[in-house]
């Protein structure tokens, strides 16, 4: 009997740790999204582009009417490869 109770306590502790870690993961994921959003805002502000111009540029890019220069495409591909390796 003592062994079963010990196992049950261990299970309970493990579940509590899992819940804590899941909460921490959610918090870290939220922080990551916030940092990504801040990075985007900083980039937009750094190029000093207005809302209408940015909207038009993004629409043109998303519809394929505007393409990145080859040097930037290569840079993006390198970044993607580094992310896969990490």
Inter-residue contact 57 to 47 (CB < 8 Å)? no
Query: Nearest CA to 19 among 8, 34, 27?
Result: 27
A 10 A CB-CB count for 44 gives 13
Structure tokens at 6: 């010990």
Instruction: Flag whether pLDDT at 84 surpasses 70.
Output: yes
Mean pLDDT of 67-80: 84
Q: What confidence tier does 86 reach under pLDDT thresholds 50, 70, 90?
A: low
* Whether the model pTM is above 0.75: no
Tens digit of each residue's pLDDT (9 = 90 or more) over 3-61: 999 999 999 999 999 999 999 999 999 999 999 999 999 998 899 988 899 999 899 98
């Amino acid at each position: 009997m003592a062994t079963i109770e010990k196992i049950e306590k261990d299970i309970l502790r493990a579940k509590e740790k899992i819940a804590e870690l899941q909460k921490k993961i959610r918090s870290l994921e939220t922080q990551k999204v916030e940092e990504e959003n801040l990075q985007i805002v900083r980039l937009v502000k750094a190029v000093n582009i207005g809302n209408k111009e940015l909207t038009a540029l993004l629409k043109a890019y998303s519809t394929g009417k505007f393409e990145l220069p080859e040097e930037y495409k290569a840079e993006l591909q390198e970044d993607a490869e580094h992310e896969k390796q990490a």
